[in-house]
Structure 1
């Protein structure tokens, strides 16, 4: 994934294939997001971006 792909995903906002988290300190939240992606068709978890992009 390039910086342009990441920028596009951030600009498009969260959806079923793209989720944002502001930090990676909450292991439970991270694990829930990753399990959700593994149970679906995959996706991208972008760390360091708030829910508003």
Structure 2
């Protein structure tokens, strides 16, 4: 969020984090619409397998 607030360009953020510019655009839109909650990690989409046998 500091990068967004600091006015860094999407391409610079993407390069620093080694993700696509498109992903940074999605994060920025979520940040604008929902604030910090919009960019917090939601964890692994695969779910836990610890209980599986």
Instruction: Select the structure of larger CA radius of gyration.
Output: 2
Query: Whose strand fraction is larger, Structure 1's or Structure 2's?
Result: 1
Which has the bigger relative contact order, CA under 8 A and spacing at least 6?
Answer: 1
Tell me the TM-score normalized by structure 1.
0.32
More helix by share: 2
